[in-house]
Each structure stands twice: as structure tokens, then as C-alpha cells.
Amino acid sequence: MSTIATARRRHPTARTPPAQATGARLFVALAFLIAVLNLLGLVMVMSASSVVALDVYGSSWYFVGRQAAWAAVGTVVLVLVARVDYHRWRRLGGPLVLLSLALLALVLVIGTGANGATRWLGAGQLSFQPSELAKLALLLWVADLLARRAAQMHNPRATLRPVILALAAVATLVMLQPNLGTTIVVAAIALTLCFVGGAPLGALVRWSAFGIGAATALALAAPYRRARILAFLDPWADPMDKGYQNIQSLVGLAEGGVAGKGLGAGTAKWGFLPYAHSDFIFAVIGEELGLVGAVAVVGLFVLLGVLGMRVALHAPDRFGLLLAVGVTAWFCMQAFVNIGVVIGILPVTGVPLPFVSAGGTSLVVGMAGAGLLLNVARQATDRSLAPRAPAERRR
């Protein structure tokens, strides 16, 4: 840095190297966008949870206070992950996958849950979802594997097969909870990395088709699961039970109109829409901020996807590229599933809207993922000044 500063003093017209300037802009833009999504989340959690919090806990600030505390923890995690060279985090992929598998298995034995799903370990404020950790763990492990075996991408046994086996183990345990939404997100992360990494397209398509068929069969195996999952196709067939959430979320969106009822003026949160501050917070956004607010939120996630892809394109190495792609696929697919549930094109799955929905585990792990993405962007700012590896020089 001192050399750069000296050069600038000697040559006032000298500019920051293009790669460095691009990385810096991406870093700032991403950090600002993550902050905006978190602030939006705090505002909407306050609005969506105030009634139920007052009724159950005697304070309208109960849920937003917890969310603010988790946001503070998540911010510390984001800063820590962003500051430590992302190459150091890759060695944690394997241990984290094993830990996630153990915790997911433990959930099936002693886990707690609601509405026919068992997804948490612990109780009360000390509970957490191992499936959230599984997203980050699988992302790190797959990105590391495909980066190390770049020269073997033509060989599915060396690259695609181990990824599919790890994905199958995680997805099976998550589906047994059952949690279709998280299974979709986890599969999207792994398969996107394989596609971008250069896995043979034919083998990837075959394994994807097999996985979709297996997940569908597992989801529809039990009658109560089948009824719950298929309720979105005709919610009015059981409007007071399995189709209730679908109907109420659509009613909330419809009542919002173009401009919305105004922040805090929505009625869905008055006991009509269960989990209004978590899984169905997008319905509250649509009711209170209208079509304009809902489209703006969708636009924020589209922007997140664009920035994430730009970070991947400016990553200094293959591992950084895969890491940025995986994190971007994670956030965008999870947002798509959450919003898809609210607008009625997907079954109710219990997937939170990243950074916006209430939920400690989801927020903290999501902030860790955002820290990885910022880390890659930060490394890209120094790419033009850093010495390249021999293979990179040959290219």
C-alpha cells in the first residue's frame, strides 16, 4: 500500500488499477445491499410481529429485539469471515459437512418442531436449525473439491459422483424432517457449482433428474406430507386447514394493491396469517408496501444475484469463483422459494426470506455466506497487484 501511495504522490494523475477499482466497487455495493436487506428485515419484522408479540409476550418489541440481537451477532460473523482470507475457510468444508450430517441425524431423534415438521435442536431461544449450517458446509466442501480437481472435471467419478453422494446424504436427512424448501436450496447450491465447475452436462442432467424423482417420491410417501405439499394446487379444497396459509398470503397481497395500505397498517398480521414475521413476511410486505414495495424487494435480490455473478467473474482463482457462485445461488434460490410459496406457485416449505425474515440461525449463517462473498470481492481488489501462480501466468 505504501508503494501505491508513493506512486500516487509522484504521479498525481495515476489511477487505481482497473481490477482493484472494480473489486472495491463490488465490495462496497454488496456491503451496502446486505445492510439494506437487514434494515428492511428489522422494519418488516417489527411491523409483522408486533401484534402477536404483544399478545403472547406482552411487548410489541419482543421479536424485533431478538432479530436485532441476531443481526448484531451476524454482523460480527460477517466481518470476521470477510476479513480472514477465504482460502483458510476451505479446510473447514469437510469437518462442517460431517458435523452437519451428525446434527441433522440428531434432529430426527431429539429435535423439536411444529406443524408436522421437526427441524430444530434445543428449545426456546437456544434452538437452532442444523439444515442452515448444512448449506454453508456443503458449499465450502463442494467448492473446495471442484477447485482441487479442476483437471479431472471430465471424469464424473472423481468430481460429480462424490458431490452427488454428499448431496444425497444431506438431502435425505433434510427431507426426513420434512423440509422440501431447504432440500431445493441445498441441491441448487451443489448442482450450480457442478455446472459452473464444468461437470459433464449429460451426467449432470441424469443425476439431477434422478434426484428430483427421489425427492418427489420421498415428499409424497406419507399421506399427511402429500396432502400438505399438494395443498397449494387447490388451497380452497381445505380452506380452514392445509390451504389456510396459502389463501391468507394471497389475500394479503391482493389487499395491498399497487401502493399498499401503509407500513404497519396491514391486517394479515392480526392473527389471520400464521408466521407472518418469518416464512410469510413477503405477504406482509406486499400488503403494507403494495406491488411497488414487493417489486422493489424482488429487485434487491435480482441485484444481489447480478453483483454476486460479477464478483465470481472477478474472482482471483477458481475456488473464489465457485465460492461466489455458490453463495449467490444460495441466496437467490432461497428467495425464489420463499416468494414462490407466498404467491402460491410452490408448496408451503418453511424457507425464510434471506436477511428479511425473522430467524436467528438463518440470519447468522446467511451473514457468514455474505461474508464469504465479500471476502472474494475484497481479494479481487488486490488481484492485479498480487503475484500469480505459475498456471495463471501460463494462461
Distance between CA atoms of residues 322 and 174, nearest Å: 24
pLDDT tens digits along 207-216:
989 888 887 8
Return the pLDDT at 221. Answer: 76
- What are residue 98's phi and psi, to 5 degrees? -65, -40
Return the pLDDT at 147. Answer: 96
8 A C-beta contact, residue 60 and residue 50: yes
Return the pLDDT at 145. Answer: 96
Per-residue pLDDT at 10 exceeds 60: no
Return the pLDDT at 22. Answer: 76
pLDDT tens digits along 226-240:
777 778 888 887 888
pLDDT tens digits along 330-381:
999 999 999 999 999 988 888 999 999 999 999 999 999 999 999 999 988 5
Per-residue pLDDT at 32 exceeds 70: yes
Identify which of 368, 358, 383 has the alpha carbon closest to the alpha carbon of residue 139. Answer: 368
Identify which of 286, 295, 279, 297 has the alpha carbon closest to the alpha carbon of residue 263. Answer: 286
Contacts of 88 (CB under 8 A, 6+ apart): none
Distance between CA atoms of residues 308 and 331, nearest Å: 10
**Which range is least confidently modeled, 150-154, 174-178, 296-300?**
174-178
Return the pLDDT at 124. Answer: 66
pLDDT tens digits along 233-272:
888 878 887 888 889 999 999 999 999 999 999 999 898 8
pLDDT tens digits along 88-115:
999 999 999 999 999 999 998 888 776 6
Return the pLDDT at 18. Answer: 57
3-state secondary structure of 117: strand
* Most confident by average pLDDT, 116-130, 183-197, 338-352: 183-197
Contacts of 25 (CB under 8 A, 6+ apart): none
Q: What is the mean pLDDT of residues 33-41?
A: 97
Between residues 330 and 117, which one has the greater pLDDT?
A: 330
Distance between CA atoms of residues 313 and 89, nearest Å: 20
Q: What is the mean pLDDT of residues 302-311?
A: 97
Identify which of 285, 325, 283, 275 has the alpha carbon closest to the alpha carbon of residue 305. Answer: 325
Per-residue pLDDT at 8 exceeds 70: no
298-354-163 Cα angle (round to 5): 110
Return the pLDDT at 348. Answer: 84
**348-360: burial string, b at 16+ Cβ within 10 Å, e else:** bbbbbbbbbbbbb
Type of residue found at 316: P
Return the pLDDT at 271. Answer: 86
8 A C-beta contact, residue 53 and residue 45: no
Before 178, cis peptide (omega within 30)?
A: yes
Per-residue pLDDT at 285 exceeds 60: yes
> Percent of the chain scored above 90 by pLDDT?
67
3-state secondary structure of 259: coil
Using only the alpha carbons of the chain, give its radius of gyration: 22
H-helix segments, the chain? 2-10, 18-57, 62-83, 86-89, 93-110, 130-148, 160-175, 180-197, 201-220, 223-230, 244-256, 281-313, 318-342, 360-381, 390-394
> Percent of the chain scored above 70 by pLDDT?
88
Distance between CA atoms of residues 324 and 309, nearest Å: 7
